[in-house]
Structure 1
Amino acid sequence: MKATPAALAASLLSGALVLNAQVASAQTNPPPATATRPEANPSGQISVPSNAPPATTTQTTGESSRDPMVKKMNEDEKAKVETKGK
């Protein structure tokens, strides 16, 4: 299907007119301000203490031990950053 320049221009012009009408309508008719504010202390949303034991520094995260080569590379890079900066 081959579009003629006149049809293309008419389509573009009508689209611009519709867009301008929508913008003008939105500026003259703002939506009603019916938004509600959240409660200061929402009901049903209170924190309760857990029965779980407190976390300790000796708990593991499940991470497996790293390859010694990777560990050495990480230490080398960390030392480089500490001495030279980023």
Structure 2
Amino acid sequence: MVTSSYEPKRKPGTHKEAFASERVRVILRILEKRRVPVRPATRERIVSCTDLDTLSRWLERALTVAEAEGLFGEGGG
């Protein structure tokens, strides 16, 4: 019996991009469910972020902030 060692080809960073995209989706969903308004500029900042550590920090903050801009904290990140 012949076994295949086929591995689907993926672009470097595909997993990271998928994780980032999912975190962005969850952050925006949390804010929506909590009825926290998100200004267009704030939404763009969230959507354009690809740093997983930053997105994780924002996700945690999304659970408690009163305003979406509060995600960014004192240091802006």
User: What TM-score results when the alignment is normalised by the length of structure 2?
Assistant: 0.32
Question: Greater Rg, structure 1 or structure 2?
Answer: 1
TM-score after normalising by structure 1: 0.29
Pick the structure with more helix per residue.
2
Which structure has more relative contact order (CA 8 Å, sep 6+)? It is 2
